Amino acid sequence: MYLISLRTTRLILLLLSIVSLQGCYQNKQLTDNTLIYCTENNPTSFNPQISNDLASLDATTHQIFNRLVKLDSNTNRFIPDLAESWQQSDDKLHYRFTLRKNISFHHTDFFTPTRFFNADDVLFSFNRMLDIQHPYHTVNNQMESYSYSHPFSNLLSKINKIDEHTVEFVLSKPDVTLLANLAAHYAVIQSKQYADQSLQRGQPEKIDFQPIGTGPFKFKSYTSNGVIRYQKNELYWQDMTNIENLIYITNPSATKRYSKLLSGECDVISYPAASQLEAMSKNKEIILNSKSTSNIALWAFNTKQTILQDDKVRYALSQAIDKKTILQAVYFQSAIQTNTLLSKQSWALKPRIDENIYASQQAKEKLQTLNYDFSKTLSILVPENAAVFNPNFHKTAELIQSNLADIGVMAKIESLSGTALQARLFSGDYDTYLTGINVHINDPDSIFRPLLSCASSPENGNSSRWCSPHTESLLEQSLTESNFAQRIKSYYLLQDEIYKKRPYLPIAHVLRLDAISSSVLNVQVNPLTGINFQYAIKQDLN
Amino acid sequence: MLINNGFNEDKIQSPLRYIWSIFKSKSIAVVAMWLVILLIFAAIFAPHFVPHSPLAQNSDKMLLPPYWVDGGDIDHILGTDDLGRDTLSRVFHGLQFTFGGAILITFIVAIIGMVIGASAALTKGIKASILHHLLDALLAIPSLLLALILITIFGPSYYNCLIAISLSLLPQFIRASYLAIEQELGKQYIIALQLDGATNLRLFRYGILPNILEPTITVINRLFTMAIIEIATLGFLGFGAQLPQTELGSLIASSMELIYLSPWLVIFPGLAIFLVIVIVNVFAEGLRHAVIEGEE
Amino acid sequence: MLSFLIRRLNLLLITAFILTIIAFAIDRSVTIESDLTLSEQPNYFFQYLSYLFNLLDGNFGYSSLDNQPLLTRGLLFFNATLELCFSALLISCLIAIPLGLLAGLFRNTKLDYMIMTVAIVGLALPVFWVGVMAVLLPSVWGDVLPVDGNLSLIYDVPTVTGFLLIDTLLVTKEYGLFAFFDRIAHLILPSLVLSFFLVTEIIRLTRHSMTMVMRSNYIKAAYAKGFSRRKIVFTHALRNALPPIIPQLRLQLSTVISFAMTIEIVFNLDGIGKWLFTSLKAGDYLVLPAGMLIITGFILFFSILVEIIMVIISPLRRGSLYVDK
């Protein structure tokens, strides 16, 4: 007995000594210059031209690439990036950009550039999107139906190379959004030399998965378990980054991301769960970075369904929904309740006294006077997976379902994903759809057009199947109008129209949230184009 | 298992009574037995006595802690979830899915497995050999993997998950009952019975069954434990019960994102699974001990 | 010995054959008809034959997600799973064998009841729930043990064997032993959770085995000779009580792998369970037959190995092999 206990004690001591190794298992030097970003989703590709999901943008736009111009977040003006300067012609159709010299693309294991950045690279980057004959146009283009979703094909008629360091953009009609579009994520500049080399080797698809750019970090590896490794770009033409190794890891569970932030395994985490925000804001070691975005959660009414054709019915149904509870139960503090499609920051937002219209009893009476058929069950279509604009579609739908039950309308929730959802939307066999929209450039047109234009399909945003000549003409007017006051005016008219017709019930404008460990400074988050680690500094807190 | 056959009354009923009297003397086991009976009642009648509907939302009472914690509400003893649904009611409904499903699986698998195991043990030759090899192959597939395969083919739903788990546990049970019977068959009293001209059925019914009671209890207990863990695991992974169904594993999965805000939502369903397994195991252990003592 | 080997090999082949049929059936039921290479064949029999030849060729198919060969990927992931299983086995042996021996020696005492209670608790805790609860640890304890992932990301360890403990030792040039210790730290919590089940099992088996040995005649003889209890336990009982556990434990291998797969998913560890889970969720169903063949192949191989070892250890068993079958 005595001997046994002695032996067990020895074993326990051994175990304890293994555990006590914990203290020293972390390598100080390495942790100090490595920054780990824990994200929610894998990027679909490493080219923001063909992928517009936020995970891809976060992984590429600011880290790997540069654009010709960028938006200064403080002054809201466009400032030069890869372009040194630009001039606009008098007819407003020609923009001439002078490019910076002696800028090198990334030197990596898989590509070594022999020349500096020049006009050919700019032409390549844009012609890949514009020119249907371009050898790269179809490369990786079958990935999603929404790829190459950029406005350049409508916007530009031609791009001319004037000399090695000058390019000229020719517009098809005067359009004020060119600079905004050139600063957007899909206007990144790729290396033509790398593209040619890949094409020669018969692996053109590599360009989007082993990217080469001019940005502050260069791509090192991406493994199928969701780990992306970047290294500092030693030849970067602007201020060198402080971070030697940048690592992204995908972890779909927000709980896990938070626990890893607490344990120091992640320095920055994306999209903390709405339910964790309160605890985070109390924790001094975590800085919560919240940026309001134009991304909006919507409840779309299928206006082609007979039962929902009447705009008064749609109004009554909108009245029945208690948005405040949805905000509390689903979003906690991660969104702002809204009654408009445009966010508060948008210059086109029509100021109106926008009272909360929630009035359950009134909605019921209204439906009764409209002879609404209460025996019919409304379907609520919901995507299975959470999206940026809605952390939990199903829960939202459950709340809406119980709101509708209050006014005597039966509803059933149908949860679909992927192609099944697309097919369902395409078929038009649904009453309502819980959705939202990601906005990529700071222009009202990028919200209104996908949601309201006849040309936009339900899969691409117009899930209310809204199509009216009046809306269409307003959309066109506001885009061609270069008089700013006139443009605002037509947007005001458009908003009035939408407010009256109610093809959508706007629920909330979501915030983009990132939780950052207090040891990391200067992480910039652009709600449109993604996170930026260029200026990040990791400091030693101990 | 009570027999009201006049001829055999003396032979069989009295050992059972004897075992029962030993069992009664073990207070923990008796408590466990009452708890098991209570659980079965709870699983069957849960919808009739829980205070709230498991799906009834209450936007005024979201994420309440249990009532003994500050801010709790006596109306919701175990608190509420993020939509104001009563945790106690949801856990009881979860018991219906998890515990009830496990009982059902145990019952079906035990009967089918016993029949196949016994017929395999009592027949010889090519049939037994084929079964043996098939079992060897099936036993090599981990039950979770087998369940995953079946669910991938038939689609995830609660009933498919029950079927998949039954099928994945069946080989283990057949193997165990086969081995137990095989062992018993070699004994001399069985040979004596056989020489008496007993049919296989009679041999099994009166010769073997009473004597493999102890290993059978162990195996059934194990079967039940695995069934409940697997139902919950598949529910947790999203391959079992689907959303409005409040299976305990899927309750844990759906509350996972809330674990920092209200850990209770994860703790209670897990605790329920834990307690159910402990209670049933204590009951089975008690029964097994009583049988062993009775035999000695 | 040779005839024993041939007999076992024979059994192995038949079982493997049945498994390939099952794998083929799964493969058929999850693939859509566009699979040209197999559908060219006129009927299921020929389809099966060409499937079998593909398997023998080492061609288990390619992942529809990343176009990697399923066999090599699956094996690498499975090695990670094995690493987890073995570290759990190590932990549980360290904990459970002493406890089981004690329970067997002091049968039906308070100590025995206490140990058996521990065993039931270990069995009753649902592993995935414990895993979920473990993510609360950092908020309670702070930076103690990592609760997620295989290895700190700061170490860029190339996958060579799939056993990260070995792989981290291969990069000592760059990181010293830091990566290795980091790996151990990441393994502790998941193996501990996995060992709950094994502890229960080993306690039960050891207790039973010890009881049987203590009742046997040679122990009684030793007592009669007047040896002290301590000497009897350590020189006679232990030596005979432990080996019978091994074949019993082998039967639990598939259950352990089953639990390990769950733990991988919960703790986000790379391994065959997480690989299957994520692939299935992403719609790549071909991983199922491949994963099944890898796991069952290992279990079969391991079973035979254990049997051979057992035969080598105890000559008594060798004789029994020829008697009735």
Q: What is the pLDDT of residues C47-83, one digit of tens each?
A: 888 888 888 887 777 877 777 788 888 888 899 899 9
Name the one residue in this structure whose structure tokens are 């069952």. Answer: C296
Mean pLDDT, chain B, as a whole number? 82
d(CA C295, CA C305): 15
Helical residues (DSSP H) of A92-203, grouped into ranges: 119-130, 152-155, 178-182, 192-200
> Dihedral sign, CA of A213, A218, A224, A225?
negative
Count Cβ–Cβ pairs < 8 Å, chain B vs chain C.
119
Question: Hey, are the CB atoms on B232 and C30 less than 8 Å from each other?
Answer: no
Query: Each residue of A160-196: pLDDT tens digit?
Result: 898 889 999 998 877 777 888 888 888 889 999 999 9
pLDDT at C111 over 70: yes
pLDDT value, residue B259: 81
pLDDT at A386 over 90: no
Which has the closest alpha carbon to B213: B35, B34, B11, B19?
Answer: B19
Spell out the domains of chain A, with CATH numbers in brackets. Answer: 35-42+215-285+518-542 (3.40.190.10), 65-211 (3.90.76.10), 294-511 (3.10.105.10)
Best residue in B99, B139, B219 to probe C by mutation, most C CBs within 10 Å? B139
Structure tokens at B161: 């998950």
Helices C44-56 and C2-30: crossing angle in degrees, nearest 10, is 120
Query: Each residue of B188-213: pLDDT tens digit?
Result: 888 888 888 777 788 877 778 878 88
Of A11-15, A17-21, B152-156, B217-221, give the range with the top mean pLDDT: B217-221
Q: Does B134 touch chain C (CB under 8 A)?
A: yes
Question: Hey, are the CB atoms on C14 and B133 less than 8 Å from each other?
Answer: yes
pLDDT at A23 over 50: no
Task: Please answer whether residues A38 and A251 qualify as being in contact, where contact means their C-beta atoms are separated by less than 8 angstroms.
Answer: yes
Question: Hey, are the CB atoms on B256 and A322 less than 8 Å from each other?
Answer: no
Predicted confidence band of residue A144 (pLDDT cuts 50, 70, 90): very low
pLDDT at C167 over 90: no
Secondary structure in 3-state letters for chain C: CHHHHHHHHHHHHHHHHHHHHHHHHHHHHHCCCCCHHHHCCCCHHHHHHHHHHHHHCCCCCECCCCCCEHHHHHHHHHHHHHHHHHHHHHHHHHHHHHHHHHHHHCCCCHHHHHHHHHHHHHHHCCHHHHHHHHCCHHHHHCCCCCCCCCCCCCCCCCCCCCCHHHHHHHCHHHHCCHHHHHHHHHHHHHHHHHHHHHHHHHHHHHHHHHHHHHHCHHHHHHHHHCCCHHHHHHHHHHHHHCCCHHHHHHCCHHHHHHHHHHHHHHHCCCCHHHHHHHHHHCCCCCHHHHHHHHHHHHHHHHHHHHHHHHHHHCHHHHHHHHHCC
Query: Each residue of B224-280: pLDDT tens digit?
Result: 999 999 999 999 988 887 777 888 888 888 888 778 878 888 899 999 999 999 999
Torsion angle (degrees, nearest 10) of CA C43, C45, C49, C50: 10
Give pairs for B47-52: CB < 8 Å, separation 24+: B47/B93, B47/B96, B50/B86, B50/B88, B50/B89, B50/B92, B50/B93, B51/B75, B51/B76, B51/B86, B51/B88, B51/B89, B52/B76, B52/B85, B52/B86, B52/B88, B52/B89
pLDDT at B281 over 60: yes
Predicted confidence band of residue A371 (pLDDT cuts 50, 70, 90): confident
Q: Does B285 touch chain A (CB under 8 A)?
A: no
Question: Hey, are the CB atoms on C255 and B142 less than 8 Å from each other?
Answer: yes
pLDDT value, residue B227: 92
Best residue in C19, C108, C255, C258 to probe B by mutation, most B CBs within 10 Å? C258
Give chain B positions within 8 Å (CB) of A395.
82-83
Q: Does B212 touch chain C (CB under 8 A)?
A: no
Mean pLDDT to the nearest integer, A142-147: 42
Give chain A positions within 8 Å (CB) of B263.
none
Query: Each residue of C290-302: pLDDT tens digit?
Result: 899 999 989 888 8
Q: What percent of chain C has pLDDT over 90?
A: 9
Task: Please answer whether residues B287 and B29 qualify as being in contact, where contact means their C-beta atoms are separated by less than 8 angstroms.
Answer: yes
pLDDT value, residue B220: 92
Query: Each residue of A108-117: pLDDT tens digit?
Result: 988 999 999 9
What is the nearest CA distance from B223 to chain A, expressed in angstroms? 32
CA-nearest residue of chain C to A256? C135
pLDDT at B8 over 80: no
Question: Hey, are the CB atoms on B145 and C262 less than 8 Å from each other?
Answer: no
Query: Each residue of A321-366: pLDDT tens digit?
Result: 888 888 888 887 778 888 888 877 777 777 765 666 788 888 888 8
Mean pLDDT to the nearest integer, B178-193: 82
Residue C99 or A384, more confident: C99
CB proximity list for C7: less than 8 A, separation 6 or greater: C321
Structure tokens at B253: 């999965």
| φ/ψ of residue A309, rounded to 5 | -65, -35
Helices B143-154 and C2-30: crossing angle in degrees, nearest 10, is 30
- Which pairing describes strands A286-301 and A78-80: parallel, antiparallel, or unpaired? unpaired
Residue B55 or A451, more confident: A451
Predicted confidence band of residue C85 (pLDDT cuts 50, 70, 90): very high
User: What does the DSSP assignment read for A228-288?
Assistant: EEEEE-TT-SSSPPS-SEEEEEE---HHHHHHHHHTTS-SEEES--GGGHHHHHH-TTEEE
Structure tokens at B35: 């708890």
Question: Hey, are the CB atoms on B153 and C19 less than 8 Å from each other?
Answer: no
Question: Hey, are the CB atoms on C184 and A21 less than 8 Å from each other?
Answer: yes
Structure tokens at C12: 């192995």
Residue C139 or A416, more confident: A416
pLDDT value, residue A480: 72
Mean pLDDT to the nearest integer, C184-190: 87
Predicted confidence band of residue C324 (pLDDT cuts 50, 70, 90): very low
Question: Hey, are the CB atoms on C129 and B153 less than 8 Å from each other?
Answer: no
Question: Hey, are the CB atoms on C26 and B153 less than 8 Å from each other?
Answer: yes
Count Cβ–Cβ pairs < 8 Å, chain A vs chain C.
95
Q: What percent of chain A has pLDDT over 70?
A: 90
Q: What percent of chain A has pLDDT over 90?
A: 10
| φ/ψ of residue B159, rounded to 5 | -70, -40
Structure tokens at B104: 């059902």
Task: Please answer whether residues A163 and A119 qualify as being in contact, where contact means their C-beta atoms are separated by less than 8 angstroms.
Answer: yes
Predicted confidence band of residue B26 (pLDDT cuts 50, 70, 90): confident
Residue A380: Cβ within 10 Å count: 24
pLDDT value, residue C323: 39
Spell out the domains of chain B, with CATH numbers in brackets. Answer: 40-282 (1.10.3720.10)
Predicted confidence band of residue B168 (pLDDT cuts 50, 70, 90): confident
For A276, the closest of B57, B62, B261 (CB atoms) is B261
Best residue in C63, C128, C154 to probe A by mutation, most A CBs within 10 Å? C154
Of A129-138, B62-71, B144-153, give the range with the top mean pLDDT: B144-153
pLDDT at A146 over 50: no
Q: Does C30 touch chain B (CB under 8 A)?
A: yes
d(CA A453, CA A464): 11
Q: Does C252 touch chain B (CB under 8 A)?
A: no
Q: Which of A146-160, A180-194, A498-512, B272-286 has the lowest mean pLDDT?
A: A146-160
Predicted confidence band of residue A136 (pLDDT cuts 50, 70, 90): confident
pLDDT at C36 over 60: no
Instruction: Say whether A478 sits in a helix, a strand or coil.
Output: helix
Mean pLDDT to the nearest integer, C223-248: 82
Query: Each residue of C274-286: pLDDT tens digit?
Result: 989 888 887 788 8
**Chain B, window 82-141: residues with a beta carbon less than 8 angstroms from a chain A beta carbon:** 82-84
Task: Please answer whether residues A535 and A73 qualify as being in contact, where contact means their C-beta atoms are separated by less than 8 angstroms.
Answer: no
pLDDT at B105 over 90: yes
Mean pLDDT, chain A, as a whole number? 82
Q: What percent of chain B has pLDDT over 70?
A: 94
pLDDT value, residue A425: 85
d(CA A234, CA A231): 9
For C175, the closest of A22, A27, A229 (CB atoms) is A27
Query: Each residue of A47-85: pLDDT tens digit?
Result: 888 777 778 888 888 889 998 998 877 777 888 888 988
Q: Does A249 touch chain C (CB under 8 A)?
A: yes
CA-nearest residue of chain A to C66? A224
pLDDT value, residue A150: 64
Which has the closest alpha carbon to A452: A300, A315, A275?
Answer: A300
Distance of CA A237 to the CA centre of its chain: 27
In this prediction, the answer to ipTM > 0.95 reads no
Mean pLDDT to the nearest integer, B61-73: 75
pTM of the model: 0.80
Question: Hey, are the CB atoms on C15 and B140 less than 8 Å from each other?
Answer: yes
Task: Please answer whether residues A332 and A274 qualify as being in contact, where contact means their C-beta atoms are separated by less than 8 angstroms.
Answer: yes
Task: Please answer whether residues B88 and B151 qualify as being in contact, where contact means their C-beta atoms are separated by less than 8 angstroms.
Answer: no
pLDDT at A147 over 60: no
Task: Please answer whether residues C138 and C208 qualify as being in contact, where contact means their C-beta atoms are separated by less than 8 angstroms.
Answer: no
d(CA C135, CA C147): 6
